[in-house]
A = this chain, B = another copy of it.
Amino acid sequence: MSGKVLVYSRFPKAMMVPIGERYDLLDSKGRALEKVFSAAQLSEVRILISAGATLLPAEVMDLMPSLKAIVCYGTGYDGVDIAAASARGIAVGHSPAANAAAVADIAMTLMLAVTRRLLPADAYVRSGDWAAAKPSPQMAPRPGNPGRRVGVYGMGAIGRKIAARAAAFETDVAYFSRSRHDVPYRYVDSLAALAEWCDVLIVAVRAGADTHHIIDADILRRLGPDGYLVNISRGSAVDEAALVAALTDGTIAGAGLDVFETEPHSPDALTAFPNVVLTPHIGGHTADSHIAMQACVLANLEAAFEGKPLPYPVAPGS
Question: For A170, what are the chain B residues with a Cβ–Cβ distance below 8 Å?
Answer: 101
- CB of A209 closer than 8 Å to a CB of B: no
- CB of A137 closer than 8 Å to a CB of B: no
CB-contacts of A96-116 with B (<8 A):
101-102, 105-106, 108-109, 112-113, 116
> Which of A106, A280, A285 has the largest number of chain B CB atoms within 10 A?
A280
Interface pair B105/A112, CB less than 8 Å apart: yes
Among residues of B, the one whose C-beta sits closest to the C-beta of A286 is B144
Question: For A131, what are the chain B residues with a Cβ–Cβ distance below 8 Å?
Answer: 264-267
Question: For A130, what are the chain B residues with a Cβ–Cβ distance below 8 Å?
Answer: 264-265, 280
Bin the interface of chain A by size: 35 or more
The 5 closest A-B pairs by CB, nearest first: A168-B168, A144-B286, A131-B266, A109-B112, A125-B278
- Which stretch of A180-188, A212-220, A227-235, A287-295 is in the interface? A287-295
Interface pair B143/A288, CB less than 8 Å apart: yes
Question: For A278, what are the chain B residues with a Cβ–Cβ distance below 8 Å?
Answer: 121-122, 125-126
Question: For A116, what are the chain B residues with a Cβ–Cβ distance below 8 Å?
Answer: 105-106, 109, 282, 286
Q: How far is the CB of A127 from chain B (nearest CB, A)?
A: 7
- CB of A236 closer than 8 Å to a CB of B: no
Question: For A121, what are the chain B residues with a Cβ–Cβ distance below 8 Å?
Answer: 278-280, 282
Among residues of B, the one whose C-beta sits closest to the C-beta of A282 is B121
Cβ proximity bits A123-167 to B, threshold 8 Å, 1 near / 0 not: 011111011010000010111111100000000000000001101
Q: How far is the CB of A187 from chain B (nearest CB, A)?
A: 21
Q: Whole-angstrom distance between the alpha carbons of A240 and B126 in the complex?
A: 16
Question: For A164, what are the chain B residues with a Cβ–Cβ distance below 8 Å?
Answer: 168
Among residues of B, the one whose C-beta sits closest to the C-beta of A119 is B122
Interface pair A280/B139, CB less than 8 Å apart: yes
- CB of A277 closer than 8 Å to a CB of B: yes
Q: Whole-angstrom distance between the alpha carbons of A105 and B124 in the complex?
A: 19
Interface pair A127/B267, CB less than 8 Å apart: yes
Question: For A128, what are the chain B residues with a Cβ–Cβ distance below 8 Å?
Answer: 266-267
Question: For A288, what are the chain B residues with a Cβ–Cβ distance below 8 Å?
Answer: 143-144, 146-147
